Chain A
């Protein structure tokens, strides 16, 4: 089954659930009773048992009276939206924070975990969302760093390598101990992090959003390794906010929402839509995303990129011979693993990076190496990847941020002076149109939430009367509701005849909204296909740089 099918059935089921407002979330307390019962029985008891855990950051309650148990030999998914408290809960188990109240039992023993080294002594390792490896060192050096046995004068690298190879073979985590970490792919670096834990003979592994930056291929390999680990007696806590993944890999699921446990279910007894409802706390309404209508006549091209090459940040040729045409009224999704040239491509189009060779034209006019302002005036809108720091000036008010691209034009200023009244009028309109929640019109936007900040940039860029819209990772870090909102906006733009170039790391997102899909790999667009003619495996292979045999 492809993602497309899954999402289709998902949406259909959701529509049904809209009518059925009664929630069937299982009561976590009744489960606690069970847990308590077998906590007494040490052998069959959970290997980790966290009871009544509360953790605060200032006024914010990140975890509230949470009870969580991990059985030996299971993959237990911790599911929840961004900010639900997943990382916090596992960080407590790993000794990074101390709970305000509550108790932790590991292997039947009451445990006070003050630091990660306490955790490792108890057999617990954690692989973070962001890796903590030193890129200049070898795999082996990264793995043995900090171990007691390495504190002598001489390192016994051979012995360590041998052990690493053993672990690698045992669980199917392919790695070359001698290679330098900086040369490894994201997936390989993750394996190093996992082996780093296993090398310390832990039997409980916490993985925090491990699939975020993997290609579908790498993801598959990871899941296989995880299964092999639990088959050999390890226990795994798997943190994610992706429904598809929990269904695929976990045995049990604890769902968190706003710092509370909203349910604990067996994977075999639940469905994606039940989980979605628990995660969000309401029924998600996603309109059927309109399929790209295939008209017989190809619409005119609004953005044409011909053999463009450009330098990367380290001044070596990074974008190589990019060829791409974006048509009026379509969404062209560009899939790819992070760092394969997405940002460089967007910047080259927007005039923020020099075109070294080649030609770019928008609506028939050459725009290569024009200034960013000239390109914008010719009809470009651009929602950058790092919205917070590139798309906004955080110490400015929402008013100033909304006119950041047009303050110098007619109603907003005259020859010399700014016109605050007109700016305010415009801001009021965008705030209403995009349902932006503000506290104070004149306060710096730095105090607003991520979703609202994203909406400011979106509101500004979509209200330009543009021909081409570039959006780069528009929904990263947003919850389901906000994501859905943004997707609708993109489709509206497309229906208005704008050519939308969607650069995204989220393959699901690309498959949901695009009409055509391209893949970027090592600075090259290696293929562009109609969505009708693709499946996820093919895209996955391409993202990993594997050419397909046809």
Chain B
């Protein structure tokens, strides 16, 4: 019983690790800031104010949260099946492409249905695209890590080609933009006079959907089992191939929805830089959130605040926003260290318990 208590304590300790790590990262950046001659307390104050100090700030933070949360979920869900999807950036663009095609077509002019069709197109485009690395992994044993990363570049170049050629808005001469989607297929603003659109609701629904999928459904059980112990899953008669395909489809699909939400809610057209590298931060977010849907939500919010706060910090104090990236990287490093440490501790207690 004593050991059981100890174990509980360790588990709660483990859930504190990301927060402790975040704290450490802030302390280290504070030191860097003071070395650069900036008062760190003032800098963090500006950052905090930027992220939460005004309606616009809050809205901006939440808009960023939406994208990061959805993409973080996409990475986390795949990792539940021990599949590394590092290609969410590419899948996001493919999803955005699918959504744009709907949004500028006649379907996009139908109210409500236009939005639903855009989201569906995002899911289908992103999901199908993610089946390529899944197939290569299952059929030829090629690591999905490599394939998904490389496909990102293929997609970015492909989108650039489309925006400079076939998909380019015929009314503009210089800008590589697609035509604007119909206003009926634009996500409504839910906080007047800000940029906060209904995408945040879609993100919230996605959290619930992923949670239900993984812990309540049959396919979720199979996916989790394959992820936890592929040997045991095979032994128990589970279908490993099917699990990998399904999870890559879902993961890519969520990434595709993210693209659709960005087109429908923020840009209203497709541009080259529709994602400022969200796909890469998403991996950090999934790790920080320990692949748990709710953990991912917290981590996404944290990073969104960090991003919008540091933009303000840059505008007001002239502190380069690369410092925000430094902060993100430091958080990740500290989290990984803390994670290893926590895991060792848990391992030790579990061993001790076994001999009890």
Contacts and interface: CB of A to CB of B under 8 A. Distances in A.
B218 A407 contact: yes
B216 interface: yes
Contact of A417 (B217, B348, B353): B217
A316 to B, nearest CB: 20
B193 interface: no
Interface in A386-424: 389-396, 400, 404-405, 407-408, 413, 416-418
Contacts of B169: none
14 contacts: A58-B352, A59-B3, A60-B352, A60-B355, A352-B234, A377-B237, A389-B232, A391-B235, A394-B229, A400-B221, A407-B221, A417-B218, A418-B217, A447-B350
Nearest to B218: A413
Given A376-B237, A382-B235, A393 B225 contact: yes
Contacts of A65: none
Contact of A447 (B218, B239, B354): B354
Contacts of B352: 57-60
B174 interface: no
Contact of B228 (A371, A377, A393): A393
A384 interface: yes
Contacts of A371: 237, 239
Contacts of A377: 237
A446 interface: yes
Given A59-B352, A407-B221, 5 more contacts: A57-B352, A372-B234, A390-B231, A417-B217, A418-B221
A174 to B, nearest CB: 39
B340 interface: no
Contacts of A408: 218, 222
A390 B232 contact: yes
A287 B334 CA distance: 59
A390 B238 CA distance: 13
Nearest to B235: A390
A389 B231 contact: yes
B7 interface: yes
B178 to A, nearest CB: 38
Interface in B193-243: 216-218, 221-222, 225, 228-229, 231-239
A548 interface: no
A447 B7 contact: yes
Contacts of B7: 447
B195 to A, nearest CB: 37
A83 B234 CA distance: 32
Contacts of B228: 393, 395-396
A376 B228 CA distance: 21
Interface residues of B, number: 28
A447 B353 contact: yes
Nearest to B215: A418
A295 interface: no
Contacts, number: 77
B218 A373 contact: no
B236 A439 contact: no
Contacts of B216: 417-418
Nearest to A420: B216
A405 B237 contact: yes
Contacts of A60: 352, 355-356
A396 B227 CA distance: 12
Contacts of A448: 354
Nearest to A375: B237
B3 to A, nearest CB: 7
A449 interface: yes
A58 B353 CA distance: 10
B270 to A, nearest CB: 35
Nearest to A413: B218
A57 B354 contact: no
A399 to B, nearest CB: 11
Contacts of A413: 218
A376 B218 CA distance: 18
A384 B351 CA distance: 23
A372 B232 CA distance: 11
A448 B354 CA distance: 6
Contacts of A400: 221
B209 to A, nearest CB: 13
A418 B221 CA distance: 8
B353 to A, nearest CB: 5
B232 A392 contact: yes
Contacts of B222: 408
Contacts of B237: 371-373, 376-377, 405
Contacts of B231: 389-390
A450 B351 CA distance: 12
Contacts of A384: 235
A446 B350 CA distance: 7
A404 B236 contact: yes
A450 B355 CA distance: 10
Contacts of A395: 228
A451 to B, nearest CB: 11
A440 B354 CA distance: 14
Ranked 7 nearest A-B pairs via Cβ? A373-B237, A404-B236, A60-B355, A372-B237, A58-B352, A393-B229, A393-B228
A58 B356 CA distance: 11
Contacts of B354: 447-450
B217 A373 contact: no
B4 A373 contact: no
A350 interface: yes
A418 B4 contact: no
A163 B352 CA distance: 45
